[in-house]
Amino acid sequence: MVLSCISDYIHALIIYNNRGTFKAKLTLISSIIINLSLLGFFKYSDFIISILNNTLNTNIPLLQITLPIGISFYTFQTMSYTIDVYRNDAPIQKSIISLATFVTLFPQLVAGPIVRYSDICKDLNNRTHNIDKVYEGIYRFIIGLSKKIILANNLGFIWTSIKTTPFSSLSNLTAWLGIICFTLQIYFDFSGYSDMAIGLGKIFGFDFLDNFNFPYVSKSITEFWRRWHISLGVWFKDYVYVPLGGNRCKKSRWFFNIFVVWFLTGLWHGASFNFILWGLYFGFILVLEKLFLLKVLDNIPKLLRHLYVLFLVIVSFVIFDIPNFKDIFNYLNAMFNINNSFVDKHFYYYLVPNILLLILSMIASTPIIKNVLDKNIYIRSIVLIFGFTISCAFLVDSSFNPFLYFRF
């Protein structure tokens, strides 16, 4: 992190002092290479070695390097700084302490949102502090804490239990219940972290942009990705998709640009082929929507459009969370094979004691609860006290359960 910070500080100064020259362009390329090399070495070395061993039948030992915490996030943040300085989209930061503050800002360091320097450059030295902002920060933090501890962790216990069961023995409904639990878990886990980061930021006077906007109410996959992990989507759009030409080119080149972005989006999530497949899966769907599906969706009822999105997203998370292709196929087979038993006692075993958790999670994944809390301060106060108390009780009583996006 220190090396990355110093490197981009120096590179940005050279770019600023040589703006508009070939030297500035070379300096930008140097900065990007250094950043991606650091990320690639720590995150993808063993992945590349494994591919070489399998392809060339070699036996190169794996390095088994520990992944520096938050490297995927702060690498993208420091890269955005030098790129924005080169584009003249962000002012130069001549204080390395201020730039290091941006890079090491702990609330969002570990799992996002990906904060760009241009978004908070004014806040670094001229923050606004007041009691209302502190209150909003505490409110947002407790909401995120409750999402993680009360909802995500308990949904995760169900998914872990079902995922560790032999897939061939799962009934259709048990398999669906398991992956629905994970679909809800990853949303509350990741959006919960983002809420906590945004809340802490407000307490310290920083205004981080929202990272989630109720993605499960989307009516198309295009809309879903405008609502899910917003900071990552905007980063890839501004620094990969648009520079490649975006949609202002031939249709074949446009689709190529989409697949490049989604290949990289999948790869960003982890050094595994299932993440690449997951990215390309969404890239393929987005291309189909741009070709004709969006027009078709516009002419069908909203409920069916929501179901279309939920179906594709739920299937995608099978690919996302199961690393082995054979196991992915076996789990999908458990979900869709009509020759499987449709329901079994295990389904009721997981469903009955957790029915209230599932109903609450489904409601909380929509704007309903947020709208109620925004309109009624008394209900908000009760929910905050209750949520904080229950979260603390769960924390005291349970084992360590890290955020899912720590590993990315």
> Mind telling me the catalytic residues?
269
Identify whether the C-beta of residue 134 lies closer than 8 Å to the C-beta of residue 201.
no
- In whole angstroms, give the CA distance from residue 119 to residue 90: 9
Q: How far is CA 284 from CA 95, 242, 257, 259, 278, in A?
A: 44, 19, 12, 7, 10
The 8-class DSSP code of residue 62 comes to P
Q: Containing H/E element for 332?
A: helix 325-336
Between the alpha carbon of residue 202 and those of residues 124, 131, 367, the distances in Å are: 13, 10, 22
- Asked if residue 191 lies in contact with residue 229, where contact means CB atoms within 8 angstroms, the answer is no
Residue 149: partners with Cβ closer than 8 Å, 6 or more residues away: 390, 391, 394, 395
> ∠ at Cα 345 (344, 346), nearest 5°?
90
CA distance 378 to 383: 9
**Pick from 311, 254, 318: nearest CA to 286:** 254
Cβ atoms 214, 367 nearer than 8 A: yes
DSSP codes of every residue in 117-150: HHHHHHHHHS----HHHHHHHHHHHHHHHHIIII
Q: Which residue from 162, 218, 213, 151 is spatially nearest to 186, judged by alpha carbons?
A: 151
